[in-house]
Structure 1
Amino acid sequence: MARVIIQLPERFVFSTEVPIYIGHINYGHHLDNALLLSLVSEARVRFFKFLGYTELDVEGVGIVVSDAAVQYKSESFHGETLVFEMTPAEFNKYGCDLVWRATDKASGREVARGKTGIIFFDYGARRPVPVPAGFVAKTDPAQCA
């Protein structure tokens, strides 16, 4: 089976810190792989808030997560703080990938990297809609500097 390889961008437009709580730890005494995705979700909510949006209101439409890929790089432990960096990439008609990296704040050790595919969605009509131009403009790296 081919391994997942996530290519990172040169620059991320957003960064946030998320602590690792005891509830994130598994029987191996490190961050549970499934719970990492809950931390990515928290970072994604903060990313949209940073842009002035919610996941249900991005220029009048919502988002839906369409897929996710993760490449684990090292363990993470209770009490550490992860720095999540995030930026959109690979835009298509209805969505994009949110590419992210998680590193330990204290050491700079990379813990994981990944991408979450999102589509923009009209919840009233129950259908995908084109990527809002305002979202594209707000996430242009030149605008987020």
Structure 2
Amino acid sequence: MKHDRLVLPAAFAFVTDIAVQARDINYGGHLGHDAAVSLLHEARRRWLAAAGLDEAGSGGAGLIMLELEVHYGAEAFWADRLRVDMGVTGLGPVRCEFRYRVGRGGSEVLRARTLMGFFDYSARRLVRRPADFLTRLTAVNEESDNV
């Protein structure tokens, strides 16, 4: 399947492996869309945790999902070990994009983009990006494997 509409970064800043579990399988016998979205969430949380950040915003600015785009290229099945490569693009004053490539062996299972807003959950509004956000994310070891 072609992925013309979703360009991935030239280099990824974070890598993690995630196994497909029984609960991730849909009626077609492969990774379901809902589970794929949860897999992206898990990978993003691992990267944030490795950088000492969290989506809830314990430092004042959390993250909230504004958009999601997913392109599928191959099936994934129970017990498959998927490699998730991630990068940050489109960094703006109140939002950024996470880009994902999820693969198994030599095949690309999916690629995705999440547009995330920096969000103050107590005030229920978008806020400015923390000054050290990108620095903290990119300081994480590029060959991380936070399983």
- TM-score higher than 0.5 here? yes
Which has the higher relative contact order, 1 or 2, with Cα contacts under 8 A spaced 6 or more apart? 2
Aligned positions of 1:100-111 closer than 5 A: 100-104=100-104, 107-111=105-109
Structure 2 gaps, min length 5: 143-147
How much has 1:10 moved relative to structure 2?
Answer: 0.9
Structure 1 gaps, min length 5: none
Partner of 2:128: 130
How much has 1:61 moved relative to structure 2?
Answer: 1.5
How much has 1:58 moved relative to structure 2?
Answer: 6.2
Identity of aligned residues (%): 32
How much has 1:84 moved relative to structure 2?
Answer: 0.8
Contact 1:71-1:112 within 8 A present in 2 as well? yes
How much has 1:87 moved relative to structure 2?
Answer: 1.3
Distance 2:19 2:42 in 1: 11
Partner of 2:64: 64
RMSD after superposition: 1.6
The one-character-per-residue Cα deviations of 1:80-132 (angstroms, maximum 9, x if unpaired) are: 0111111110112201010111011xx23110001111001112221111111
Partner of 1:112: 110
How much has 1:13 moved relative to structure 2?
Answer: 0.8
The one-character-per-residue Cα deviations of 1:14-64 (angstroms, maximum 9, x if unpaired) are: 111110011111121111122100111111110110111111136432111
Q: What TM-score results when the alignment is normalised by the length of structure 1? A: 0.88
